[in-house]
Amino acid sequence: MAFDQTDARLSLAERLNLELRDAHPAAIIEAAADAFGDRLALVSSFGAESAVLLHLVAQVNPDMPVLFLDTGMLFAQTLDYRRNLAARLGLTQVRDLRPRFEDLALGDPNTNLWQSDTDACCHIRKVLPLDRALEGFDAWLTGRKRFHGGDRLRLSVVEQAEHQIKFNPLANWGKTELDAYIVKHDLPAHPLVAAGFPSVGCWPCTQAVEEGADVRAGRWAGSQKTECGIHTARAPGAAPFMGGDI
């Protein structure tokens, strides 16, 4: 793709962000695909708002790898939605990422780590499997949006993340744009949305909320935790997690 004239000292991620920061999500995905080809993946939770980005990707390249974190603690409705939506959109490369048996045996042998340390639970079940899968890619797409608040308020369309470049095609969109896109393309909703779940994660740490509540209010409710860890920068040179406290 062609770039505007920018300071040569800017990183690739910074130059891409300058070029794409006001672009339509479809244009961002196309630019990412042009730049990285088969070294680009989409990471999707198949959650409450996931259908929009999955549909956009299917229009650009239905064979793009889609990385899905099957933590072993997802709602049954999410697993059904993942299977049905992937088939409907014609996505051919959805890959289920699961935690390693060794990590679970060492760090969560009784499957109750979420009760005492949600960060460690997410690390075993989400961060480690995704880190391993992303070793085969140079860039990835996420479904994060600024209107979700918290650290996402300052979200760039393109950013550097560890060893990959991260694209956030929906960063600029709000709920109005998402809802309009869903209606226009007749996309099916996650089954739990109608039950009061505007955001859907693992069942122990997700709950329904009252209408009008913050979109992520039901995630880790009652705690200061707002992210699972896959979008949190790790310290350079940090040793891999091998169970226990982190």
Three-class secondary structure of residue 139 per DSSP: strand
| Residues 189/76, Cβ–Cβ less than 8 Å | no
In degrees rounded to 5, what are phi and psi of residue 220? 50, 45
Selection from 10, 55, 15, 53 nearest residue 35 by Cα: 15
Residue type present at position 153: L
Distance CA 58, CA 69 (A): 19
Mind telling me the catalytic residues? 228
Distance CA 64, CA 170 (A): 18
Q: Is residue 56 within a helix (H) or strand (E), and if so which, with residue range?
A: helix 50-60
Distance CA 168, CA 70 (A): 22
Token pair for 77: 């409705």
* Rounded-to-10 torsion of CA 60, 62, 67, 72: 140
Distance CA 128, CA 25 (A): 28
Instruction: State the CB neighbour count (10 A cutoff) for residue 187.
Output: 17
